[in-house]
Amino acid sequence: AQSVAQPEDQVNVAEGNPLTVKCTYSVSGNPYLFWYVQYPNRGLQFLLKYITGDNLVKGSYGFEAEFNKSQTSFHLKKPSALVSDSALYFCAVEGRSGAGSYQLTFGKGTKLSVIP
Amino acid sequence: NAGVTQTPKFRVLKTGQSMTLLCAQDMNHEYMYWYRQDPGMGLRLIHYSVGEGTTAKGEVPDGYNVSRLKKQNFLLGLESAAPSQTSVYFCATGHRAGVNEQFFGPGTRLTVL
């Protein structure tokens, strides 16, 4: 079985400061990892993914994530936070089921608040 | 292109009533998913489909049924609604090949009294 942990329910950061949203995972085989963002009363939007290769993945809106295989982590980062980054962030891992279909398992989400 | 749309946006049901949520996509994706989102629990997969005419159970399928008669539509049914089914429901779609992100609809907020 696969799982994702987001250890922080909420992260507060001052505008202009770097931000990190933490994620650790557990999966059999190679991990396929994703970050999604959800703004209030909206569906989830894809930010970035890791499949293979470079451990630093760049995504939308200036976000990036660092894959660390030894620590089974995939932390989301941004060098300089904006107030408009305030949202709910979800980490997800993809596993390949016996039926050959692809399912995502989501973490419980981290609420990011960027303070002006 | 509309992307992924969900109907209705809001609904209030009484315990025991039935309803169907509709997900429609114009992205020609093979895979479609239904999730529920509850506070502090993230998204949990209810049912999914890997193609027209196929469905499979996800993590929390009890109390729900689905159908995928056409590639572009994925229906989620509640035969006898219960207060525990109060939630926000999201539909998502995805490509079959490779490792691809899912595309989400705007959600349906359902309250069961």
pLDDT value of residue A93: 92
B93, B102, B103, B109, best to mutate vs chain A, most A CBs in 10 Å: B102
Q: Tell me how close the Cα of B42 comes to any Cα of chain A, in angstroms.
A: 4
Residue B99 in this model has a pLDDT that exceeds 90: no
Identify the pLDDT of residue A29. 81
Least confident of B53-62, B78-87, B94-103: B94-103
**What mean pLDDT value characterizes chain B?**
93
In this complex, do B107 and A41 lie within 8 Å of one another by their Cβ atoms?
yes
Task: Tell if the CB–CB gap between A103 and B48 is shorter than 8 Å.
Answer: yes
How far is Cα B110 from Cα B113, in angstroms, rounded to an integer?
Answer: 10
Q: Which residue has the tokens 């992205």?
A: B27
Question: B48 in contact with A at a CB cutoff of 8 Å?
Answer: yes
- Residue B31, CA distances (Å) to A67, A102, B23, B42 in order: 27, 9, 12, 21
**A72 has pLDDT over 90:** yes
Question: pLDDT-derived band of residue A96, with 50, 70 and 90 as boundaries?
Answer: low
- Among the partner-chain residues B43, B56, B92, the one whose CB lies closest to the CB of A101 is B56
Report whether pLDDT(A99) > 80: no
- Tokens 């229906």 belong to B75
Q: Which tens digit of pLDDT belongs to each residue from A25-36?
A: 998 888 899 999
Taking the C-alpha atoms of residue B43 and residue A83, their distance in angstroms, rounded to an integer, is 25
B4 - beta bridge partners?
B25
| Residue B97 clears pLDDT 80, i.e. is over it | no
